[in-house]
C-alpha cells in the first residue's frame, strides 16, 4: 500500500475539521432556532398536538395592504405566518415563516394585517385556550 503524501493527509484533515466545524455551527443554529421557537410557542397549544382541541374560527379577517413600491415591482405571492391566538380570540404574536418580500415591505404588511384578525377562540374540552396556527396571506395584483 502506497503512503499518502503529508500535504494530502493535512488537506483531508483540514477538510474534515472544516466539515465538523460547519456541522457544529449548524447544530448550534438549530438549537438556537429551537430555543426561539420554544419562546414563541411558550404557553400555547399547537393544533396538531392535542386531542379534543377545536380550531379557532376567524371572525374578522384583515387583508394586507400593498405598498406602492411592491405594486410598482409587481410582486405577487403568499406570506406564510405563524400566529398565536389567545383564549380571548385576539392575535398575540406573529412571525413570518415564509417570506415573500423583505425589500418592499410586504412581509411587514402581512404581519400588521394578521395582528388585526379576530377569532372565536380555540377550545380544549370546551375551555378556551391559546393556540399557534399557520396563516397564509396573499398579495395579488388585479
Amino acid 39: pLDDT: 83
Residues 81 and 34 in one domain: no
Q: What letter would DSSP give residue 2? A: P
What domain count does the chain have?
2
Q: State how far the Cα of 101 lies from the Cα of 96, in Å rounded to an integer.
A: 11
Q: Among 3, 33, 43, which Cα is nearest to 130's?
A: 43
- Burial class from Cβ neighbours inside 10 Å (0-12, 13-18, 19+) for residue 76 reads middle
Domain range for residue 76? Answer: 44-139
Amino acid 24: pLDDT: 46
Ranges in the chain, pLDDT < 50: 1, 4-33
Do 79 and 106 contact (CB within 8 A), yes or no? yes
Residues 9 and 71 in one domain: no
Residues 115 and 78 in one domain: yes
Amino acid 52: pLDDT: 84
pTM: 0.71
Amino acid 92: pLDDT: 94
Residues 14 and 65 in one domain: no
118-120 and 57-60 beta bridge pairing: antiparallel
Averaged pLDDT of the chain: 79
Amino acid at each position: 500500500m502506497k503512503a499518502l503524501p503529508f500535504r494530502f493527509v493535512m488537506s483531508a484533515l483540514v477538510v474534515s475539521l472544516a466539515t465538523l466545524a460547519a456541522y457544529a455551527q449548524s447544530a448550534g443554529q438549530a438549537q438556537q432556532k429551537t430555543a426561539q421557537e420554544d419562546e414563541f410557542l411558550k404557553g400555547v397549544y399547537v393544533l396538531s398536538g392535542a386531542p379534543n382541541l377545536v380550531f379557532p374560527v376567524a371572525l374578522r379577517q384583515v387583508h394586507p395592504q400593498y405598498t406602492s413600491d411592491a405594486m410598482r415591482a409587481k410582486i405577487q405571492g403568499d406570506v406564510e405566518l405563524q400566529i398565536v391566538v389567545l383564549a380571548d380570540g385576539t392575535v398575540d404574536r406573529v412571525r413570518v415563516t415564509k417570506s415573500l418580500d423583505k425589500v418592499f415591505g410586504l412581509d411587514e404588511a402581512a404581519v400588521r394585517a394578521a395582528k388585526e384578525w379576530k377569532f372565536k377562540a380555540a377550545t380544549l374540552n370546551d375551555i378556551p385556550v391559546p393556540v399557534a396556527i399557520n396563516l397564509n396571506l396573499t398579495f395579488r395584483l388585479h
